[in-house]
Structure 1
Amino acid sequence: MPQVNPRFSVLSDDFAADPYRHFARLREQDAIHYESVIDSYFVSRHRDVKRVLTDHETFTTETLQERAEPVMRGPVLAQMTGAEHTAKRKIVVRAFTGRALRDQMGVVHANAAELVAPFLSRGRIDLVDDFGRPLAVNVTLDILGLDKRDRHQLAAWHSGVAEFITAIALTPERRRHCLDCADRLEGYLAPIIEERRRHPGEDLISTLCAAAFDGIAMTDREVTALIINVMVAAVEPADKTLALLFKHLIDHPEQLAQVRKDPALLPAAIAETLRYTPPVQLVPRRAERDVVLAGSTVPAGATVFCMIGAANRDPAAFAAPDAFDIHRPDLGTARSFTAAAQHLAFGTGLHQCVGAAFARAEIETVAGLLLSLFDEVRHTPGARYRETGLYTRGPAALRVDFTPARSAPAPP
């Protein structure tokens, strides 16, 4: 068992304020960090995180049975193995690739243009509250074929579901709240699933309702679990990645100028943002047997948290890892959104994020639109920047000022 350092905790307010300043010490001195309060291990080196995420026999996703299934209303893709995982993953992947992906980018662009329009004459916007969060929700609802007039209620229920999954520890009161959100969301979806089975459309829920596994249509519960799985995966990281991308480009004006001059660099900027500040910071696994990691024994049954942010800043994997550099040669833009990615923002192995291609296309579409509409984008004077979150992490707000481009349309 690793040495327990009573003076340091990843659960502390100090760590939450800025995890990045602790990552080097963790990798060098406490590579398998143990938190006795939650009886869990935190793995920070790139090679160890990659091992945990790819050794599926030793490190399984069984922990999600407690962390996700109660609010997902069934097993999520990451819990599945074998033929079931292959079949259901393929169903979801097909919904986010090829022609479907091209159609979805039209939806993304339309939603983004509508949301940003009222702010163009003001020259000021919060890329989190005013834009990123509502955009992520609206796009997801459009893809699922859900009524955007219900977006505020659906966003509230989604928030409770996401809290259950991402909280390291929940009070009994918060746990009840999260489960109640899941109950209400399931109740909302039930008649919609029934209707889409009778009258399918072009939306993702219709696709899931019509899909079959082993020649048998999926049950309502299985469809519900996949819908909620898609909602959480599509909404939770998107607003964070967009805001973080703009934050880093504004902080590095020479790189922002290069992206403006050559839009082909935008995918590299997105990939570097995902490496430098991944929105998903922790990925849990369960050790199925006693295993030695970085010289320490992790016992069978233990929860192991992969620290994606720390792994992505590991100098053994990336040169000058604490520098934001869209030109870094050790990242590889082309492979950064595939299973061959060097960074671990999408996970890796069997359970790598199915939405990587969609994430790239969505952020590239939205960022490209905003850069065409915003000239001289900069931080709003006096605005305080703060990031929040341990499991998922992103800006609490990102207030920026800009000069509207001459070609920007007038607000409606």
Structure 2
Amino acid sequence: MPLADPDVSVLSEDFAVDPSRWFARLRERAPVHYEPAIDSYFLSRHEDVRRVLTDHEAFTTETLQVRAEPVMRGRVLAQMTGAEHTAKRKIVVRALTGRALQDHVHAVRANAAELIAPFLPEGRIDLVGDFGKPLAVRVTLAVLGLDPEDRERVAAWNSGVVEFITGLDLSPERRRHCLDCAEQLEAYLRPVIEQRRRDPGEDLISQLCAAEFDGVAMSDRDVTALVVNVLAAATEPADKTLALLFKHLIDHPEQLAEVRRDPELLPAAIAETLRLTPPVQLVPRRAEADAVFGGATVPAGATIFCMIGAANRDPEVFTAPDTFDIHRPDLGTARSFTAAAQHLAFGAGLHQCVGAAFARAEIETVAGMLLPLLDRVRHSPGSRYREAGLYTRGPVALPLDFTPMTARGAGSGRGIRR
């Protein structure tokens, strides 16, 4: 089996325009695809990707020591195993589920209502730039207990952190910029962490400051790394998933009409959006020993990139995998936000996304608010749809037109709960 398709490069501009055009070819001709420019292997079959993500001893997260730790300012959850991983993951999960989750949902509603209100009388909005991106930052800052007035600079620093993690071929200048962003973010968080140790609240930073591992409180560096971890993980996928959900529903008006008539179908629409167009497209691992996939050998020490988007469209697992279908029987909505999910948008195994339940609640809440408000929603005339990103991917913008609401209608609470 060849280790590369000579006519395909994952790093090419042609691939970047629409990666999904190449998924089937890679799965069929080069399911173990080697990119010499970055000395890395790309796996595209569902079976192979799930194997790598669930066997954390044979395929470790050691690559994150280089890809993430410099900007996270310390080790992140995905780098941990054993008792340390269990204890620290539990802290984060507790802050994103149960009663805490209900408090976060209230923050989601309040911020979403404030952001959407000015656009309702206009009948036009860019769901990415005007709404999705600022909402994701606002909600994450609320979870962490950070000052909402700092959202613009925190978002700018976080953007540099994410660029470092997701960039496969950063120039020295961009690398320096990203590291500068990380240093400024750490400097911003340092006095916050010190204050929360003295006067803790109910926010996640306070919980991290109060937590112990093996009887020892976490250091400021440990707390900083986990805070930056949550900041990057919570903001990056959220706006992409919301925009992609609306794009798919608008492009499939019969399914949009069904979801409007029966809001109980909304979770299925979100799950199918995550399957067909996962915001996180690549997940890195390192092979600890020679590994064979379908006759091709990946050598020990090699970097492997799991192609989540390609695996989620594998016809061996999903019928008509390139079709958006909220009724597909092979998805299983009830398990799509759990460790038993058939799709791999949240990863799998030990390091499955810690915020899956929070992501579901956030997107369900926001989409449930917007659908009644954006009556006759459609793509704005003349707008050109474009996606960007290789590691994480989503719409650059999503200009939408809808029936304007009068000031009286907008203020009456139709679909908005403050």
With the shorter chain as reference, the TM-score category is over 0.9
SS at match of 1:237: helix
Alignment check: 8 A CA contact 1:71 1:179 kept: yes
Aligned to 2:416: none
Aligned to 1:58: 58
Alignment check: 8 A CA contact 1:117 1:410 kept: no
Q: Deviations over 1:34-68 (max 9, x none)?
A: 00000000000000000010111110000000000
Alignment check: 8 A CA contact 1:4 1:33 kept: yes
Aligned to 2:180: 180
Alignment check: 8 A CA contact 2:286 2:304 kept: yes
Equivalents in 2 of 1:4, 1:396: separation in Å?
30
SS at match of 1:318: coil
Aligned to 2:145: 145
Equivalents in 2 of 1:206, 1:382: separation in Å?
48
1:3, distance to aligned residue in structure 2 (A): 3.5
Equivalents in 1 of 2:241, 2:170: separation in Å?
26
Q: Which amino acid aligns with 1:149?
A: E
Aligned to 1:315: 315
Q: Deviations over 1:60-91 (max 9, x none)?
A: 00000000000001110000000000000000
1:352, distance to aligned residue in structure 2 (A): 0.2
1:408 aligns with 2:373: no
Aligned to 1:330: 330
Equivalents in 2 of 1:112, 1:246: separation in Å?
16
Aligned to 2:388: 388
Equivalents in 2 of 1:269, 1:7: separation in Å?
35
SS at match of 2:377: strand
Q: Which amino acid aligns with 2:209?
A: C
Equivalents in 1 of 2:137, 2:247: separation in Å?
21
Equivalents in 2 of 1:310, 1:340: separation in Å?
19
1:208 aligns with 2:208: yes
Equivalents in 1 of 2:314, 2:68: separation in Å?
29
Q: Deviations over 1:128-175 (max 9, x none)?
A: 000000000011111111111111111110000000000011111111
Equivalents in 2 of 1:259, 1:408: separation in Å?
22
Alignment check: 8 A CA contact 2:250 2:378 kept: yes
1:410, distance to aligned residue in structure 2 (A): 6.8
Equivalents in 1 of 2:3, 2:159: separation in Å?
36
SS at match of 1:375: coil
The residue correspondences of 1:43-192 to structure 2 (distance < 5 A) are 43-192=43-192
1:232, distance to aligned residue in structure 2 (A): 0.4
1:226 aligns with 2:226: yes
1:4, distance to aligned residue in structure 2 (A): 3.4
Equivalents in 2 of 1:344, 1:170: separation in Å?
27
Aligned to 1:262: 262
Q: Which amino acid aligns with 1:408?
A: A
Equivalents in 2 of 1:127, 1:86: separation in Å?
37
Q: Which amino acid aligns with 2:247?
A: K
Aligned to 2:368: 368
SS at match of 1:337: coil
Structure 1 unaligned segments of length 5 or more: list them: none
Equivalents in 1 of 2:6, 2:251: separation in Å?
36
Equivalents in 2 of 1:119, 1:183: separation in Å?
36
1:225, distance to aligned residue in structure 2 (A): 0.3
Equivalents in 2 of 1:38, 1:374: separation in Å?
44
State the identity as a percent. Answer: 77
Equivalents in 2 of 1:140, 1:57: separation in Å?
32
RMSD (CA atoms): 1.1
Q: Which amino acid aligns with 2:349?
A: G
1:347, distance to aligned residue in structure 2 (A): 0.1
Q: Deviations over 1:198-253 (max 9, x none)?
A: 01111111111111111111000000000000000100000000000000000000
1:405, distance to aligned residue in structure 2 (A): 5.5
The structure-2 alpha-carbon separation of the partners of 1:5 and 1:314, relative to structure 1 and needing over 3 Å to count, comes to: closer
The structure-2 alpha-carbon separation of the partners of 1:144 and 1:3, relative to structure 1 and needing over 3 Å to count, comes to: closer
Q: Deviations over 1:102-151 (max 9, x none)?
A: 11000000000000000000000000000000000011111111111111
Alignment check: 8 A CA contact 2:281 2:391 kept: yes
Aligned pair count reads 411
Equivalents in 2 of 1:376, 1:294: separation in Å?
49
Q: TM-score, normalised by structure 2?
A: 0.97
SS at match of 1:273: helix
Q: Which amino acid aligns with 2:195?
A: E
Aligned to 1:291: 291
1:6, distance to aligned residue in structure 2 (A): 3.3
SS at match of 2:410: coil
Equivalents in 1 of 2:294, 2:224: separation in Å?
40
Equivalents in 1 of 2:328, 2:4: separation in Å?
36
Equivalents in 1 of 2:411, 2:251: separation in Å?
27
Q: Which amino acid aligns with 2:181?
A: C
